[in-house]
Amino acid sequence: MRTWPSPEIPVLPGQGGRIRVHDSTTGTLVEAAPGRDAGMYVCGITPYDATHIGHAATYLAFDLLLRAWRDAGKSVTYVSNVTDVDDPLLERAADTGVDWRALALEQTALFREDMTALGVVPPDVWDGAVESIPRVVAAVEQMLADGTAYRVPLRDPGSGGARRDLGDVYADLSADRLFGTVSRLDRAQMLALFAERGGDPDAPGKRDPLDPVLWRRERVGEPTWDGASLGTGRPGWHIECAVIARDALGVSFDVQGGGTDLLFPHHEMSASHVRSLTAAGPDGAAGCAHAHVHAGMVALDGHKMSKSRGNLELVSRLRSTGVDPMAVRLAILAHHYRQDWEWTADDLAAGEARLARWRDAVSGNGGPDASATLGEIRAAVADDLDAPRALRAVDAWCDAVGDRDGTWDLGAPGVVARAVDALLGIRF
């Protein structure tokens, strides 16, 4: 898909060092991309009711990682997707009487504008689910041929089109001995989350209630695509991300990202699919991403902000009321990405006040030497993307400007402005 324009990232004096992030699988901090290259896949939006503050917070977290990698001189490949056909999107379209394609296009366009306004670096590869269908079909055919997937006969009246004999296709999790190693949940937890997050544990004919759908055959009233030997239908959710990630990044890459709501089943299942599609090589067997990194959930009115519940604050709504997107960015970055937190009007007010203060300080005639501030911003981001600590470092420099503290340096405001721009994505 066409992405949005990339912001200019200023080059800073010196270079950033090693970056550590929290890996949900091991529960420890691990070095993100120890090599010269860095590959990251972050799960993209399902385009209806985008972009709320929770989405924005998740993408800003990974934007910090990408900027830190660039500052460390790495060659970065960033890949993401758009789930432009899925049950919730179709349900919303049906409820509102809007064509699902029009809804997806409109919301994807809005997401592009929001990301541009927030200064988020776009992915290098941004694939839609719909445009990836031929590759997904080939992957599911391969799994059927390898015996890691199976067909379940259709029971709904009128389903299956001309080839009723071809059933839905499910992944056979019993073929993957490493299933469960990403989230490390027990079976009861898995069953509960699977039911809650889009799974179909009670679908008749499955070998295991947890087996995820790979290809859903044509149903009356649902959009459908040519699935070659699978018959007409549409792809399952997890296999889309597995195929898009594998094709753009290979079977093993550095970071798989998203919000904590995706750890199970989505990231567990995607990793399993990638393993099934890989002839059990040493890397493939270990699962596709070296680190699974998850952003906490942003809430509103006491509940996780979610499109299905409707308790949303949209970036586009704030923009339309004249709010500076950089204030929104600062409001979000004041929370550590791993925290669950609640968006309130105070967050925005604090972001606006901070932006005004920073703007004022970098517009002055000189300031205290900024090299320690640059070092502290770099160190904070490298320490599990600790944005609140980075913001405090800039606040401290602004305080010192006000107090006329330290050695006065005419170039310092420029250094701070460039550091804040390159590493935190705040443009004045």
Alpha-carbon span 135 to 344, nearest angstrom: 43
Say how far residue 42 (Cα) sits from the centre of its chain. Answer: 4
Choices 38-46, 171-179, 365-373, 379-387; region in contact with ligand 5CA by CB under 6 A: 38-46
Q: How far apart are CA 393 and CA 43, in angstroms?
A: 31
- Say if CB 89 and CB 48 are below 8 A apart: yes
Query: Is residue 393 within 8 Å of 380, Cβ to Cβ?
Result: yes
> Would you state the structure tokens that stand for residue 130, as one six-digit string?
């719909």
By the rule CB under 6 A, 54 interacts with ligand 5CA: yes
Residues listed for the chain = 428
- CB closer to ligand 5CA out of 107 and 148: 107
Which amino acid type is present at position 258?
A: G
Asked if 348 is part of the footprint of ligand 5CA (rule: CB under 6 A), the reply reads: no
Picked from Zn ion, ligand 5CA, none, the partner binding residue 276 (CB below 5 to 8 A depending on kind) is none
Near ligand 5CA by CB under 6 A: residue from 297, 315, 417, 422: 297
Q: What is the DSSP string of 78-129?
A: EEEEE--S-HHHHHHHHHHT--HHHHHHHHHHHHHHHHHHTTPPPPSEEEET
CB of 42 to ligand 5CA, least distance (A): 7
Among 60, 242, 262, 426, contact with ligand 5CA (rule: CB under 6 A): 262
Contact present, 232 and 218 (Cβ < 8 Å)? yes
Q: Report how far residue 428's alpha carbon sits from residue 355's, in angstroms, rounded to the nearest whole number.
A: 8
Instruction: Examine residue 43 and tell whether it contacts ligand 5CA (CB under 6 A).
Output: yes
* From candidates 128, 235, 258, 351, binder to ligand 5CA by CB under 6 A: 258
Q: Considering only 51-59, 238-246, 328-336, 374-382, which stretch makes contact with Zn ion by CB under 5 A?
A: 238-246
Is residue 80 a contact residue for ligand 5CA (CB under 6 A)?
no
Exactly one of 63, 71, 84, 261 binds ligand 5CA (CB under 6 A); that residue is 261
Give min distance, CB of 83 to ligand 5CA, in A: 3
User: Which residues contact residue 186 at a Cβ distance below 8 angstroms, ignoring those fewer than 6 apart?
Assistant: none
Q: Which is nearer to ligand 5CA, 333 or 361 (CB)?
A: 333
Q: Shortest gap between Cβ of 13 and Zn ion (angstroms)? A: 37
2 touches 272 (CB < 8 A): no
Q: Is residue 200 near ligand 5CA by the rule CB under 6 A?
A: no
- 8 Å CB contact between 284 and 242: no
The per-residue b/e assignment along 31-47, b for 16 or more CB within 10 angstroms, e otherwise, is ebbeeeebbbbbbbbbb
* Alpha-carbon dihedral sign for residues 201, 207, 208, 213: negative
121 binds ligand 5CA (CB under 6 A): no
259 binds ligand 5CA (CB under 6 A): yes
* Window contacting Zn ion (CB under 5 A); options: 71-79, 105-113, 236-244, 400-408: 236-244
Rg (CA), the chain: 23
What 3-state DSSP class applies to 152? Answer: strand
Among 19, 38, 42, 43, binds Zn ion (CB under 5 A): 43
Q: How far is the CB of 258 from Zn ion (least distance, A)?
A: 6
Per CB under 6 A, the list member of 57, 149, 244, 331 interacting with ligand 5CA is: 57
Q: Scan residues 322-381 and list those touching Zn ion (CB under 5 A).
A: none
Q: Which residue's CB is nearer to ligand 5CA, number 91 or number 146?
A: 91
**Residue 406: helix, strand or coil by DSSP?**
coil
Q: How far is it, in rounded angstroms, from Cα 231 to Cα 220? A: 14
Asked whether position 30 contacts ligand 5CA by CB under 6 A, the answer is no
Closest separation between CB of residue 108 and Zn ion, Å?
A: 15
Residue 241 found at the interface with Zn ion (CB under 5 A): yes
- Of 24, 46, 183, 232, which one interacts with ligand 5CA (CB under 6 A)? 46
Using CB under 6 A, list all residues that contact ligand 5CA: 43-46, 54-55, 57-58, 81, 83, 241, 258-259, 261-262, 295, 297-298, 304-306
Using CB under 5 A, list all residues that contact Zn ion: 43, 241
